[in-house]
C-alpha cells in the first residue's frame, strides 16, 4: 500500500505537475517506499486513500493529452493518458501480489 501511495505521488504530483520530488521513493535505501515496519495497516490505507483523492483532483478537468512538466524526469514526456494506464497497470500488478499472499495465508482461491 505504501508503494502504491508513493507511485501515485510520483506520477501525478511530481512527473505530471512538476512538483518537488520528495518522499521515500526518492531517498535511500532503494525501495524505501515499501518499508513499513511498525506502520499500522489502517494508516497505510488512509495514506493511500488521501493520495488517490489528490490524484483524482489533479487529473479532473485535464486533457488526456497533457504531458508532464518535471524537468528532471525523462518520463515527463508521458501524456496523462499514458500515466493513467500505467497506474491502472501498477495497481493491478500489486493487487495481484496481495491476492497471491492472501491465498498463501488462508488457502482460499477465486471468488467463490
pLDDT reported for residue 32: 67
Q: What is the pLDDT of residues 34-92, one digit of tens each?
A: 777 888 989 989 999 999 999 999 999 899 999 999 999 888 999 999 999 999 999 99
pLDDT tops 90 at residue 100: no
Instruction: Give the mean model confidence (pLDDT) for residues 1-7.
Output: 89
63 Cβ contact partners less than 8 Å away, ≥ 6 residues apart: 80
CA quadruple 101, 95, 55, 79: dihedral positive or negative?
Answer: positive
Gap between the Cα atoms of 57 and 45, Å rounded:
18
**Residue 50 has which C-alpha cell?**
488521501
Instruction: Extract the C-alpha cell encoding 82.
Output: 499514458
pTM of the model: 0.83
Amino acid at each position: 500500500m505504501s508503494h502504491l501511495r508513493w507511485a501515485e505521488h510520483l506520477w501525478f504530483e511530481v512527473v505530471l505537475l512538476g512538483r518537488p520530488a520528495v518522499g521515500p521513493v526518492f531517498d535511500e535505501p532503494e525501495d524505501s517506499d515499501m518499508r513499513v515496519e511498525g506502520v499500522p495497516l489502517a494508516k497505510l490505507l488512509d495514506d493511500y486513500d488521501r493520495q488517490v483523492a489528490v490524484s483524482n483532483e489533479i487529473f479532473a478537468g485535464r486533457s488526456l493529452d497533457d504531458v508532464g512538466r518535471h524537468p528532471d524526469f525523462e518520463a515527463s514526456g508521458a501524456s496523462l493518458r499514458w500515466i493513467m494506464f500505467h497506474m491502472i497497470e501498477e495497481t493491478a500488478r500489486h493487487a495481484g501480489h496481495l491476492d497471491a499472499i492472501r491465498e498463501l495465508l488462508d488457502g482460499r482461491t477465486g471468488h467463490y
